[in-house]
Amino acid sequence: MKVSFYLKKAGADYETLIYVTISYAGNRIRIFTDERIHPQFWNSDRQRVRQTLRFPTNPEFNSRLDSIETKIRNVYRSWKVNNGEKEEPSVPILTNLIKKELGRTPEVDKALVQLKTFWGFFEDFIDRSAKGIRTNKNKQIRQTSIGSYRNLFNSLKKYERAINKKLDFDSFDMHLYNQYYSYLIGLNLATNTIGKQFSILKVVLREAYEDGYSRNTIFNHSKFRSVSEPPQTIYLNNDELAELAGLEIINKRLDRVRDTFIIGCLTGLRFSDISKLKLDDIEDGIIEIVQTKTGNPVAIPLRQKVLDIIAKYDNNFPKVMSNQKFNQYLKELCALCPSLQKEISVKEKRGGVESVITKPKYEFVSSHTARRSFATNEFLAKDIKTYQIMAITGHKTEKSFYRYIRLTPEENAKDIANIWQKRDDKQAVVLKHHLKIVKSINE
């Protein structure tokens, strides 16, 4: 008997299924496993995962393949012992015995049939993401992304009931795209929320095609796209932050919220990273962590104010509450600042209609305002190069960084005016010096 492992699509640029072939007495059986791997990590000669730091779980993965091979060989040997060495099991008998040993019961096979439907594949897509089996560039899928998958799943289910027509892979075309887009607009959803749904849907349809469950390539259509618009968010300038930091607060809960927010404003860290900070993350006055959202390492020098906050909490970071509660208390805190009580207007597109929302600035403040405030204030300071700020925020391109910072047209105009003034002053000094030289020559 020979047991071999192969990739379903060895030339793919994505994770693909692994199947096992069993060759014996002139017969050949092929059974798909539940394992998936990106071809770049597969050693076709050894028929196992490569030993590489880029795939740190390779020992566990190969151990599972070894276990599958051992079970298959044991099933074959057991049959031979019970039925005679000269006898050979038929293909159906050995197939069923192996499937049973591997946990491939009729119920499991039924689930595999269900997997070939859009809903079955989508459920499996979410389940594999939640279990860490499905990854993105060898990184586990974030819980927030898994939550977005479930939101799309539930939204499409409601849409299916609304149109009274069962959805499957072949249902997705430009007509359905336009109809579903109109349906979402009717729910008064924000443009970026709608765009997020179509972005995920394209990923699901693409993976189903790449894994061989669907032949529909509508995800490649130029008009089957996600929609987006720049988020209309705000930042707090240095004067507003100074006012916030100088507030006399008796309420310990609001004081803790303020300290956490200021840490974000002075480090550029996301709330998800701040909530996990511990003293072990500090080395020689520098915070060194791997970002929760991107998985990228960042190193951030600590400002004195952050060190003072750590000392205030007995050499620790302030305890962080849930993001929802934090945002609730943050608005309550910011409402105490006179400068944040002034009304501002922000554009919003919802349900396909653009509108202007006017309310006190503190109403727009959230935990993420801290990170945007850091990036914008450091950019305006002009004493740190853009690429150095990006090294802290984790932005990969200047284009994405410039979209991220919050600079109003008025602030941009003032910034340019200051630059021009400095340029004019410099030219005036040069001209004055030149005239002085000419005068001395003429004398």
Q: pLDDT digits over 12-35, tens only?
A: 777 888 889 999 988 888 888 888
Is residue 8 over pLDDT 60? yes
Four-point Cα dihedral 349, 354, 360, 366, nearest 10 = 10
- Close Cβ partners of 398 (under 8 Å, ≥ 6 residues apart): 386, 387, 390
String of b and e for 367-397 (b: at least 16 CB within 10 Å)?
bbbbbbbbbbbbbbeeeeebeebbebbbbee
* pLDDT at residue 69 tops 90: yes
Looking at the predicted structure, is the pLDDT value of residue 167 above 90? Answer: yes
Confidence of residue 297 (pLDDT cuts 50, 70, 90): confident
Q: How far is it, in rounded angstroms, from Cα 220 to Cα 284? A: 49
Instruction: State which amino acid sits at residue 103.
Output: G
pLDDT of residue 22: 92
Q: How confident is the model at residue 330 (pLDDT cuts 50, 70, 90)?
A: very high
The residue ranges of every structural domain in the chain are 2-104, 116-220, 238-407, 410-442
Q: Which two tokens stand for residue 252?
A: 């310990």
What would the mean pLDDT of 322-344 be, rounded to a whole number?
93
Which DSSP symbol is given to 132? T
β-partners of residue 406 are none
pTM of the shown model:
0.60
Q: Could you count the other beta carbons within 10 Å of the beta carbon of residue 245?
A: 13
| pLDDT over 90 at 425, yes or no | no
DSSP 279: G
pLDDT in tens, 380-405: 888 888 888 888 888 888 777 777 77
> Does residue 433 surpass a pLDDT of 60?
yes
Lowest mean per-residue pLDDT among 103-112, 163-172, 184-193: 103-112
Question: Between helices 369-381 and 386-393, what is the axis angle to 10°?
Answer: 160
CATH architecture of 116-220: Orthogonal Bundle (1.10)
Residue 179, pLDDT above cutoff 90: yes
Domain 238-407, CATH number (from 1.10.1530.10, 3.40.50.720, 1.10.443.10, 1.10.1740.110): 1.10.443.10
How high is the pLDDT of residue 430? Answer: 65
What is the C-alpha end-to-end distance of the chain, expressed in Å? 108
Q: Region 1-6: what's the mean pLDDT?
A: 92
The residue-averaged pLDDT of 41-49 equals: 92
Does residue 439 surpass a pLDDT of 70? no
Nearest to 124 by CA among 231, 34, 218, 31: 34
Output 12 or 61, whichever has higher pLDDT.
61
Mean pLDDT of 71-99: 89
Check residue 168 and give its pLDDT: 92
Nearest to 263, CA basis, from 252, 250, 251, 276: 276
Asked whether the predicted pLDDT for residue 441 surpasses 70, the reply is no
Q: Quote the DSSP letter at residue 344.
A: E
Instruction: Flag whether pLDDT at 206 surpasses 60.
Output: yes
Distance CA 191, CA 231 (A): 10
Residue 113, pLDDT > 60, answer: no
Mean pLDDT of 109-119: 65
Q: Output 427 or 285, whichever has higher pLDDT.
A: 285
Q: Report the C-alpha gap between 279 and 313 in whole angstroms.
A: 12
Does the structure show a pLDDT above 60 at 191?
A: yes
User: pLDDT-derived band of residue 413, with 50, 70 and 90 as boundaries?
Assistant: low
